[in-house]
Structure formats: C-alpha cells, structure tokens
Amino acid sequence: MAERHDIVVMAGDGIGPEVTGEAVRVLETVATLFNHRFEFRSEPVGGNCIDSHGVALLDESLQRARRASAVLFGAVGGPKWDDPTAPTRPEDGLLALRKGLGVFANLRPVRVFGPLAGASPLKADLSAVDFIVVRELTGGMYFGRPKRVWNTPRGGRAVDTCSYSEAEIERVLRYGFDLARSRRRKLASVDKANVLATGRLWRQVATRLSAEHPDVQVEHVLVDTCAMRLVVRPQEFDVVVTENTFGDILTDEAAVIGGSMGMLPSASLGSGRLGMYEPIHGSAPDIAGQGIANPLGTILSAALLLRYSIGADREATVVEHAVEQVLQDGLRTADIAQGQRAIGTQAMGDAVIDAIRSAAGSPPA
C-alpha cells in the first residue's frame, strides 16, 4: 500500500478557497495516477477564523499542521478586516503559522513561461530568466519588538523594530549556498549594509560563508540596486538570498516579469521535510467568488509540495510541464489574457488535469 501523506489545507479568505480547490484536485489526480495516498484536512485561518473563533489561527490547527506532511495555504485578508486598530488581523495567522512550523526559508522561483513573454511589461529577451529568491521568514520587522503605535500631543507615533541574530542569517544563507550549488553556482546576497545595522551584520555573515563556498560566485547587492536590476537585467540572477521584508517586496516586483502575480508559487521550508506551500498573491477580494482567479500559482505551489515534502520529483515535473502545456495551448485566465478569450478557475484546473493525464498515458476524465 502506498505511504500515507497528510496534507493540511488552509484555504483562507478571498480567492484562497477557489485556487486551493484546484490545487487539491491536481494533487488528487497525481495520487491516482502515480500511486500516492494523500489525506486532506481543512483548517480555518485568517479572517474567516477571526469571524468564527476570534483568533487568526487556532492552536489545534497549528498542532495538526505540525504533524502533517505539508501545508497547502491560500491567502488571507480583505477589506472586512482592514481596521488598523484591530487587536487581531488575518495576517497574524500566516505569521504565526510560519513561526510555529519552524520554516525559515521561503523559496520563490521566478521564470518566464515562453507563451507568456508578451504579458510581461519588460521588452527584453526573457527566455533566460530563471532564478530563485530565498526569503528569510522568521526575523526582521515582521517579528521584531518593540512594535507599537501610540498617540502623543503632537500626533501619532509608531515604531517597528528590525532585528536579526547571526544564527538566523547564517541558516538561510547556508540554504541559499546549497541551492546555488545545485544550479548555476551564483548567489546574490541582498542587504542594505550602507544604512542598516542588520544589513551590516547580514553582509558580514555572507562574506564569511562565501569563503567556505569558493565554488559559488557571490556578490553583495544593495536592495535598491537589486530592485533596479530585476527590471533591467533579471537574467543575471540565479539564487537571491535576502531578509524578510526585502524578500516580500522584491518577489512581488519579480512577479511582474512573468506577467502576473497569479503565476508565482512559493515553498516555505525548514530543517525537515515539512513545508508550507502557497502562491505569492493575496486574497484578491475584488474578484472572490466570481470563478475567474488564476489557480496556476497555487498549482505550481502544489508541484513544489510534491518535490520538497513528498520527495516526488518526477510527479512535480509532470505538473509543471502540464502548466506549461496549457499555456502553450493558448489557455488563459483573465489576468494573463491580454485580449484573448479568458477561461475560469475551474476550467483552467480541468485543463491542467487533462495535461497531467495525457503525460501519464491516461485518457482525460
């Protein structure tokens, strides 16, 4: 009997349930065709969890996630929960989940699918664009203390603290070096060492580790320079390692290179096989419930789930090739349609599943 893998699905808010639903269907198809056994369990998170339970993440949901093989995540947030004075926000659930799972390296692969080159606002040759951003996940301003807002006689005042330990920086950089060795052996360490103390510590650690990895070409890049180069020369990058906030912003910028945020997957990994997989886009409340959201970023995240948490590299490659095939066939959701006829979320999921069945020698359902 095939080994059982428990997958916790946290669909979240907005379009989260729609896109994760298609990724689950893809994983179910893979399980049937390649003799895997996946057990899915849904757990609330984000705004819907606040509405139902008063918190953005239940402790029992976190415990189930810790015991699982992987977590498939959708998106959280929306106008309904946008009160900046609220004691609990949907994003608190996402941050608590990352922290609780012990994932510290967020992998965000960036490539341009040939059929979508025209959807990119960049007019350069994008065929050579293929890099991975490794974003540190547990430190920086998102977790630093003190963090507070208060009122003074002269107006409001706020403080966010960016804090990093040498150990936090070293473990994510080591992950990046190992990844670079499996690719083109180039690593860009991105910091703000000319202004920030955390940036100077980051560069010191990167410099020390570069001496231990003479086979990897290392460059230190200021974050503003990196943002510029992503637009003018993205093909120069192979592995980019950076801190939490910088990585969040840079990968949203990088998503435009491929034509849409709806196309980019991510994998959040720690020291073991357990990982958390999610598209980089948000909850898109303006289109939620309309059945038009692009599920491909989430489906590609499911491919990363297969590769990193299940150890099913062949199956992951089949899913990735299926996505490329449907794009080659001219199928588009609204965000990447560029004047072409657009299909809906479920129809795109159907097309990917048919392409997977075809690759596996099984007739479409």
Provide φ and ψ at 325, rounded to 5°: -65, -45
Interval 293-350: pLDDT, tens: 999 999 999 999 999 999 999 999 999 999 999 999 999 999 998 888 999 999 999 9
pLDDT at 131: 95
Alpha-carbon Rg of the chain, whole angstroms? 20
Q: Are 13 and 75 in contact (CB under 8 A)?
A: yes
Q: Distance between CA 100 and CA 270 in Å, rounded?
A: 11
Burial of 357 (0-12, 13-18, 19+ CB in 10 A): middle
Residue 266's alpha-carbon distances to 73, 261, 278, in angstroms, are: 10, 11, 5
Instruction: Tell me which residue of 70, 80, 71, 76 sits closest to 92, measured CA to CA.
Output: 76
The answer to whether the peptide bond before residue 214 is cis (omega within 30 degrees of 0) is: no
- State the DSSP code for 234: G
pLDDT at 262: 87
The sheet that has 275-279: what strands, in order across it?
Answer: 37-42, 4-12, 70-75, 275-279, 265-269, 105-111, 130-136, 239-242, 186-191, 217-222
Q: Distance between CA 52 and CA 11 in Å, rounded?
A: 15
Domains of the chain with CATH codes: 1-108+263-365 (3.40.718.10), 121-257 (3.40.718.10)
What amino acid positions are annotated as catalytic residues? 142, 192, 224, 248, 252
Provide φ and ψ at 275, rounded to 5°: -140, 165
Helices (H), the chain: 16-34, 47-53, 59-67, 90-101, 166-181, 197-212, 223-232, 244-257, 296-305, 313-328, 345-359
pLDDT (tens, 9 = 90+) of the chain, 365 residues, equals: 788 999 999 999 999 999 999 999 999 999 999 999 999 999 999 999 999 999 999 999 999 999 999 999 999 999 999 988 888 999 999 999 999 999 999 999 998 888 887 778 777 778 889 999 999 998 999 888 898 888 888 888 999 999 999 999 999 999 999 999 999 999 999 999 999 999 999 999 999 999 999 999 999 999 999 999 999 999 999 999 999 999 999 988 988 887 788 899 999 999 899 999 999 999 999 999 999 999 999 999 999 999 999 999 999 999 999 999 999 999 999 999 888 899 999 999 999 999 999 998 877 76
